[in-house]
Structure 1
Amino acid sequence: MVLENQMPWCHARLYNDGMPRSMQDAVSSAALHAAKNDVNAKVIRDCIESRVQDLLSSPVPAAPLDVIARLHALFIYQILRLLDTDARVRLSYDATMPHLEAAAYALLQHITFHESATPGQANHAADVLPLYPISATRDFWEAWVFQESARRTLAIVLSFLMIYHYMKGEVLVQCGNNTFACRSVTLSAHLWRAGDPVDFALAWRNKRHFVVHGDESVPVTVVMEDAKSDDIDEFGKIFLTGYMGIDEAKGWLAMRGVTL
């Protein structure tokens, strides 16, 4: 995020028109953490923890971009805390988990999910996006950037939470809830990496994109049976590894010329 203004679940253009303060603080905290050493560790740790507390004490936002920014920020802080060996940080990590979960479910109301996929079939919208005039396609693309970032963010955060609850022995209840909440994501490197509305429209027209569903009504391997090496981005690798396990995913990807 610091170097490229993106994560596998946060599109590079999501905050293009303005990054909410919560994410500004989180990204700068990540940059501070990257510069941490034995000399400055305590000061940097205190700075990061102070920003976490500022975020937790701030009002819960209502605007969709602010809602996803709050979730992204909390997730970044939790990842940074996992990398810290200080026992006090671990206590703060545990105490923040309910806030992370609440932020994830707050985002849920702003997400539009896909309809169920047909086995073995890539998902395309019925309408072809126009190349000219481009305004309607630009609006569609900008909405897609938010929606797909939100769907991917929800998927990765709920997976993170499931692992956390599993370690606490709560997996059976949480797995069911989280699978229901995380209904679908799109796996398409072509759509995700499109740099402008024209490239997006061309990818929408000419490239396959695969919608996978959290309820596994159609297995991921069936939906993506015809996927090629250039269809799979970093999030796709993360998703497939979580679904199959490291060795199976590595083999499945290798058959398509992709390195895990």
Structure 2
Amino acid sequence: MARNTTNSRTVGSIIESRVAELLASAQPDTPLECLARVHALILYQTIRLFDDDISARMAAELAMPVFRASVSALVRHVPLPDPVSLSNMVLQYLSKSDISAQPNLSMPDSPNTDEDFWCRWIFEESARRTIFLSNFLIRIWEILRGIENLECDGKLGLGAYGWYVSSYLWGAQTPSEFAAAYIEKNIFLVKDLDFTELLTHAVPQDVDVFGKMMMVSRLGIEAVREWFEVKGAIL
């Protein structure tokens, strides 16, 4: 953000140095490290692919195989969303008398405790959103390269993968807030970029920022803006 014509070369050099260090590191095995690696690559690839410097764009293209491989490594750690399992875990949690303990967000693979369902959901939902965003970025790159015969099946090559749309689940700060939101608020599971159920039953307050991004990407900004306006809100 602080880049300008005076420091552009220095900033570019710093970025490339950090990217080189990241690409030289081994692919991690743990789920959180895999997620962090993809997050870093999304940021660096976005910066470089849309840079005015052609050398930065070329460097980003050369890094695409590593980016794809890192996304694939992350996919292996993320199961398909399972509403039945999530519901059972929430109900089990609510059946406990003590819901005040705070989880350790750094340990999604920790032994089962009353709060682990929330930790695990945060990691898995973060990873699902990251995977989708990564594949969107890859497709944008393919379009910019002029690759022909590209098709959109709504799945981004991820089969039955989907993600949850619920600003209340995503914004929960404690397991008890999450559980209450799950019981009391609207929750939508979007698969294959099919927003039919959400458009029919949701209200604007249900949709978080990521949901808005995906709706606009799939339906177009005018259609989404109209949906919000009909529901009495502004996109």
TM-score normalized by the length of structure 2: 0.84
Residue in structure 1 matched with residue 115 of structure 2 by the alignment: 138
> Distance in 2 between the 1:187 and 1:101 partners?
25
Q: 1:194 aligns with which of 169, 172, 180?
A: 172
- Contact 2:167-2:205 within 8 A present in 1 as well: yes
Q: Which gives a bigger RCO, structure 1 or 2 (Cα 8 Å, sep 6+)?
A: 1
With over 3 angstroms needed to count, the CA separation of the structure-2 counterparts of 1:141 and 1:175, relative to structure 1, is: same
Map Cα deviations across residues 82-104 of structure 1 (whole Å, 9 max, x no partner). 44211111111211122211111
2:201 counterpart SS class? coil
5+ long unaligned stretches in structure 1: 1-33, 118-122
- Contact 1:187-1:211 within 8 A present in 2 as well: yes
1:246-257 residue pairs with structure 2 within 5 A?
Answer: 246-257=221-232
> Distance in 2 between the 1:182 and 1:85 partners?
37
- Contact 1:141-1:200 within 8 A present in 2 as well: yes
TM-score normalized by the length of structure 1: 0.76
> Distance in 1 between the 2:51 and 2:98 partners?
51
Residue in structure 2 matched with residue 66 of structure 1 by the alignment: 33
Residue in structure 1 matched with residue 217 of structure 2 by the alignment: 242
With over 3 angstroms needed to count, the CA separation of the structure-2 counterparts of 1:101 and 1:173, relative to structure 1, is: farther
How many residue pairs get matched? 219
Which moved further from structure 2: 129-138 or 159-168? 129-138
Q: 2:134 aligns with which of 157, 163, 167?
A: 157
Moved over 6 A (4+): none
Map Cα deviations across residues 164-213 of structure 1 (whole Å, 9 max, x no partner). 22333255378587343461100110000111222111111111210011
